[in-house]
Structure 1
Amino acid sequence: MSFNNLDTLYRQVIMDHYKNPRNRGSLDDESLTIDMNNPTCGDRIQIHLQIEDGKVEDAKFEGEGCSISLSSASMMTQAIKGQPVEDALKMSKLFSDMMLGEEIDPEGLELGDIEALQGVAKFPARIKCATLAWKAMEKGVNHEQ
């Protein structure tokens, strides 16, 4: 597949998550809630996590922002749901490395649609948009441990 076709496919995946977000909403009062924002562009995200026995049982998000930040939140909640906390943190590290333009080795972790955000690394001003939900998840998970 040529670069242009791959770039088009990635854009379609990002826009699909933006227009049809997965896991948008909140969880009950027993869940962990993390609020973060990106003052540079106004993105605001709230991540809701239900963590039991070292596993992310459920993950949802609410917020406002650009297509990159909201798509990333949708992809992130989809990827970490049902995963051990340790794997969710590994995915976050891989995602951060990918945003820095580094080659990544998923080490058996299924990244799925997240790979569509690779192109964001070419736009430094948008990296904070893409990583906002991931940073919120890390903050929440690290607070729980």
Structure 2
Amino acid sequence: MSLSDSLYKEVILDHYQNPRFRGKLEPADLYEHGINPLCGDELELSINLNGDKISEIRVSGKGCSISQASGSMMAESLQGKTVGEAEDILSRFKNMILENQDPGFGEDLEDLESMESVKKIPARIKCAVLPWNTLERALSRIGK
């Protein structure tokens, strides 16, 4: 195992054991429930907006360390971002995991790169992407 793989595992484990932005917003401007029926991972995402900015974001759920850590990383990376910035991060994350593209994340988003190690375990890719697919559905409701 390379040093980067070891560090990536530490980042994932830290987000799983100490999740950021955990909980549920009530009321929430956007709410979405995501589930991976193959492994039973579940995720609830709630977002409050202030204009075009994500003013509050919370994630709750149950499941494997990868899905829960990915949700924590996602929430941490999106807090305070505009919807457009969130959509850009979402796109770059999914392209990193699903299309093997370099996401070009800056230092402020470096934890997200740890999920790249999940690609080595194809059965776990859906776990890593679950929060992001849930976010994509939630954002698709804006203005509708």
Alpha-carbon distance in 2 for matches of 1:47, 1:59: 7
TM-score scaled by structure 2? 0.92
Q: Distance in 2 between matches of 1:5 and 1:67?
A: 20
- 3-state DSSP class of the match of 1:33? strand
Tell me whether 1:45 sits opposite 2:60 in the alignment: no
After TM superposition, the score normalised by the length of structure 1 is 0.92
- 1:105 Cα deviation (Å)? 4.0
What is the identity, as a one-letter code, of the residue corresponding to 2:82?
P
Match of 1:77 in 2: 75
Percent identity reads 37
Across the aligned residues of Structure 1 and Structure 2, the Cα RMSD in angstroms comes to 1.6
SS in structure 2 of the partner of residue 45 of structure 1: strand
Aligned partners of 1:101 and 1:121 also within 8 Å:
no
Q: 1:30 to 1:93 in 2, by over 3 A?
A: closer
CA contact under 8 A between 1:98 and 1:121: conserved in structure 2?
Answer: no
Q: Give the Cα–Cα distance (whole angstroms) in 1 for the partners of residues 60 and 4 of structure 2.
A: 29
1:110 Cα offset (Å): 3.8
C-alpha deviations, 1:34-79, integer Å up to 9, x for none?
1010001000000011122111111111100100000000000000
Name the SS for the 1:41 alignment partner: coil
Matched-pair contact (CA < 8 Å) for 1:87–1:109: no
Q: List gaps (5 residues or longer) in structure 2.
A: none
Q: Number of aligned residue pairs: give it.
A: 143
Aligned residues of 1:35 and 1:46 also touching (Cα < 8 A): yes
Once the 2 structures are TM-superposed, how far is the Cα of residue 123 of structure 1 from its aligned partner?
Answer: 1.7
Q: Which stretches of structure 1, 4 residues or longer, exceed 4 Å deviation after superposition?
A: none
